[in-house]
Amino acid sequence: VSGFVSLVGAGPGDPELLTLRALRRLREADLVLNDALVQTELLELAPKAQRFFVGKRAGRHSIDQDGIHRLMIRAAERGQRVVRLKCGDPFVFGRGGEEALALEAAGIAYEVVPGVSSAIAAPALAGIPVTHRGIASGFAVVSGHAETVFAPILDGIAPGAMTIVVLMGVTTRGAIAARLIARGWCTNTPAALVYGASHPGSLTWIGNLGSLGEASFDSELPAVLVIGEVVALSEQIVFGRLDMSELIAAHP
């Protein structure tokens, strides 16, 4: 068996939202390198594999990006089947592109296994379609981890032109809202924070751009921020929900 690396998207968290190919790769894996947000249940799908945590812990990387590349390359050179397991999709803010380039440069056989992105799935599971006829004909997906990164992109989008989805934007949500309002977006544009979509204990905050900065939870679950008129549809798309307790409603 020659070594091989699969850059695999794990989806938003629920093991049922893994793809069939991702499951197959996990089952055959000799080594799994996983990020912080990957659920323990997913790792149990790789019973033969040695597992190595390469994500952030308490805000610090357990290993740097070059270290991850070296681990993958060395294991593949030893003939191992390596799964690099990432939340969501590997090419959506997952540094999957950098890993692909490193594998390519080292002459390692590899592939990408696309996953269900939280950028689309988290809003969907909260009753928010990112596109909707007559309301939004497009959406933008942006990283919220540093103002230097999101500011030029947010400035580049005309107010109300499309739905905006921000990943890794919980701590910067106030700055994001301020930037959009300064750019001309209405303060009453609906906004949602979807925590832990597809995980047990998921919850959704719904408000607007004006109130987004003050939104706060004691949730440690990853959150997806959604901004735009489609957010208001979550009032109607409730999946026949009887128990509304998980919906903290402050509808705009």
Catalytic residues: 35, 56
Instruction: Report the relative pairing of strands 247-249 and 203-208 from DSSP bridges.
Output: parallel
Stretch that binds a copy of itself, among 28-36, 52-60, 116-124, 201-209 (CB under 8 A): 116-124
Cβ closest to a copy of itself, residue 68 vs residue 112: 112
205 near a copy of itself (CB under 8 A): no
Site residues for a copy of itself, 207-236, by CB under 8 A, read: 230, 233, 236
User: Do 205 and 193 touch, CB atoms closer than 8 A?
Assistant: yes
Task: Find the binder of a copy of itself among 8, 10, 17, 73 (CB under 8 A).
Answer: 17
Instruction: Mark 48-77 as b/e (b = at least 16 C-beta within 10 Å).
Output: ebebeebbeeeeeeeeeeeebbebbbebbe
Site residues for a copy of itself, 69-108, by CB under 8 A, read: 89-93, 95-98, 100-101, 104, 107-108
175 near a copy of itself (CB under 8 A): no
User: Do 164 and 226 touch, CB atoms closer than 8 A?
Assistant: yes
CA proximity to 222, closest of 50, 99, 95, 55:
55
3 near a copy of itself (CB under 8 A): no
Q: Measured in whole angstroms, how far is the alpha carbon of residue 102 from the centre of its chain?
A: 23
Q: Measured in whole angstroms, how far is the alpha carbon of residue 208 from the centre of its chain?
A: 21
Stretch that binds a copy of itself, among 18-26, 54-62, 66-74, 188-196 (CB under 8 A): 18-26
Site residues for a copy of itself, 137-166, by CB under 8 A, read: 137-143, 149-150, 152-153, 155-158, 161-162
Stretch that binds a copy of itself, among 26-34, 47-55, 132-140, 174-182 (CB under 8 A): 132-140
Cα–Cα distance, 206 to 190 (Å, whole number): 7
Cα–Cα distance, 94 to 248 (Å, whole number): 30
Task: Find the binder of a copy of itself among 3, 8, 10, 12 (CB under 8 A).
Answer: 12
The residue whose two tokens read 């509304």 is: 244
